[in-house]
Amino acid sequence: MEITSAGNFSCSLKAELKREVTSDSISAFEMAALMIYVVTQTVMARKTSKGSAEEFFPDKLTLPLLREAAADCKACDLWKRGTQTVFGEGRRRATVLFVGEQPGNEEDLTGKPFVGPAGRLFDEALVEAGIDRSQTYVTNVVKHFKWEPRGKRRIHKKPNAQEISACRPWLEAEISVVKPKVLVALGATAAQALLGPKFRVTKQRGEFIESTLAPYVMATSHPSSILRAPDDETRRLEHRRFVEDLKKLARVIK
């Protein structure tokens, strides 16, 4: 085997590969070189691929199979930082599907979406609006908790565009299986992931938006942003606006 330049290396190896089929004269060295080539190509292909959850999809798209497959997802680097994949939860034929940003600290530890402080606020608001959580499906745009250490605490960090796009296929699959009558984005990350980067929750919250995703689509604020309100007065006001938006959903699902 002749290796003339780096560029010719793979060509001559491919030629070797062909020769191997017709000849049994390949040496141990050539075989080793061939194996190194194959391994390098595979690693390079993985590194250069942008990463999409779709690479981890099961053969059949059902919620239990998707959840199982998502548990092993490595389509972006967030799996290294989070404890586990937090997949969506709820009825398979839920009328309303809510989409948050990403799991928080408690969600990361329990593996369930919206169970921490934001989840508790969300549950209370659903009750106030007359929506039964058992009628809903709740999930997030990104399925792993992205955090930074601050002292002993793990502080939430916003997912970036690459992480959002890598993870999006899980969300799309959930929407396509559940086929909700009403799809609700909670906060700007979910709203922009579902409705495009130009969408402004501050301007368009609480309005039903024309979309092919579901018969009724709406964005509202994120329960965490209500918790972060600077004072009690603002928090009460934001909570009331949130419940008002949820009541609009309650009317269309009745």
Residues within the interface to ligand SF4 (CB under 6 A): 53, 70, 73-76, 78-79, 85, 142-144, 163, 166-167
Give me 209's structure tokens.
């938006």
Taking the C-alpha atoms of residue 87 and residue 70, their distance in angstroms, rounded to an integer, is 7
Q: Considering the complex, state which of residue 16 and residue 107 has its C-beta at the smaller distance from ligand URA.
A: 107
Q: Give the other-Cβ count within 10 Å of 196's Cβ.
A: 9
Q: Considering the complex, state which of residue 112 and residue 235 has its C-beta at the smaller distance from ligand SF4.
A: 112
Asked whether 253 and 131 are in contact (CB, 8 A), the reply is yes
Helices (H) and strands (E) in the chain, counts: 11, 7
Taking the C-alpha atoms of residue 167 and residue 161, their distance in angstroms, rounded to an integer, is 10
Q: How far is the CB of 211 from ligand URA (least distance, A)?
A: 20
What are the start-end ranges of the H helices in 111-200? 117-129, 161-178, 188-195
Give me 108's structure tokens.
């990361």
Q: Considering the complex, state which of residue 114 and residue 137 has its C-beta at the smaller distance from ligand URA.
A: 114
Q: Considering the complex, state which of residue 157 and residue 200 has its C-beta at the smaller distance from ligand SF4.
A: 157
Q: How far is the CB of 158 from ligand SF4 (least distance, A)?
A: 13
Q: Considering the complex, state which of residue 102 and residue 192 has its C-beta at the smaller distance from ligand URA.
A: 102
Q: Which does 76 bind (CB under 5 to 8 A by kind): ligand URA, ligand SF4, none?
A: ligand SF4
> Which residue, chain included where needed, has tokens 């999930």?
139
Q: Which does 140 bind (CB under 5 to 8 A by kind): ligand URA, ligand SF4, none?
A: ligand URA
Candidates 33-41, 116-124, 164-172, 242-250; binding stretch for ligand URA (CB under 6 A): 116-124
Q: Which of 88, 90, 113, 180 binds ligand URA (CB under 6 A)?
A: 113
Taking the C-alpha atoms of residue 51 and residue 30, their distance in angstroms, rounded to an integer, is 33
Angle between helices 161-178 and 188-195 (to 10 degrees): 70
Q: Which of 51, 90, 103, 169 binds ligand URA (CB under 6 A)?
A: 103
